[in-house]
Amino acid sequence: MKFAVIVFPGSNCDVDMYHAIKDALGEEVEYVWHSTDNLDQYDGILLPGGFSYGDYLRSGAIARFSNVMVEVVKAAQAGKPVLGVCNGFQILLEAGLLPGAMRRNEGLKFICRNVGLKVENNQSMFTSGYELQESITIPVAHGEGNYYCDDETLAVLKRDNRILFTYDGDNPNGSLERIAGITNEQGNVLGMMPHPERAVDSLLGSKDGLKIFQSIVKNWRESHVITA
C-alpha cells in the first residue's frame, strides 16, 4: 500500500508520520508538497499535524485552499482512506470533509502530553484492530482541539456510530462529548486530534497508535483482493 504524507508550509509532524508508515508499518510512503495536483498513484492520504500557514485566520483555514486539497477531496470521494491528525483534522473540517469546527482549548493553553482514549467503534477501516471500548494511550499537542458541532450534527454522529475515539478520563481540551476523533458518512475519512504517529513504538512511551495504521492496511488489502 502506498501512502502520501501531504506537506503544507508550517507542517511539523510530517516526518513523524513518514517514520510511522515506513519504519513502524513497513509500507511505502512519500512526502507530497501542497501544490501537487494529482494523487492518483497513492492508496492512502495522510494529513499531518503542525501549523499550516502559521494558523493565520484560523487553524487549517488557508491550507484548505491549497491545490492538493482538490485532490484530497477526490480521493475521499473515491473511497480512499484519508487520515487527518491534529492540524490535519482541522484542515478536513475547514474543507467540509468532516462536520463541525475546532475552538481554542477550554483552558486557553497549549496542551502537550499523553492522554487516554476509548475506542467507541471498532468496526471501521481505522479501528478494526482494536477491541470495542479498549483504552489506549496516545499523545496530544494542540492549542485548538476543542471540537464542537450543533445538536443536529451530534445526533447524526451518534446515530451512525461515527465517533471513533473519545477522551478517557479527563477531557483535556473541553471537546463536546469528549470527542477525540470522527469519520465522514462513508467511513473512509478520519479526523483526530491525538497523534497516533507518535505512538507506534514502545520506546516512544506507547505503541497504541500503530493499530490505526495496521487497520488501514488490513482493510485496504482485503478490499483489493483479486479473485479468479
* Cβ(3)–Cβ(44) below 8 Å: yes
Catalytic choice (27, 71, 94, 197)? 197
Catalytic choice (13, 34, 120, 195)? 195
195 catalytic, yes or no?
yes
**Nearest-10 Cα torsion for 210, 224, 43, 203:** 10
Give 41: exposed, middle or buried? Use CB within 10 Å, 0-12, 13-18, 19+: exposed
Q: Please state, as a whole number, how many other Cβ atoms lie within 10 Å of the Cβ of residue 59.
A: 27
**Nearest-10 Cα torsion for 52, 193, 81, 70:** -30
Give 128: exposed, middle or buried? Use CB within 10 Å, 0-12, 13-18, 19+: middle
Amino acid at the residue 24? A
Give 133: exposed, middle or buried? Use CB within 10 Å, 0-12, 13-18, 19+: exposed
Pairing of β 163-167 and β 179-183? antiparallel
Catalytic choice (27, 86, 94, 142)? 86
Catalytic positions:
86, 195, 197
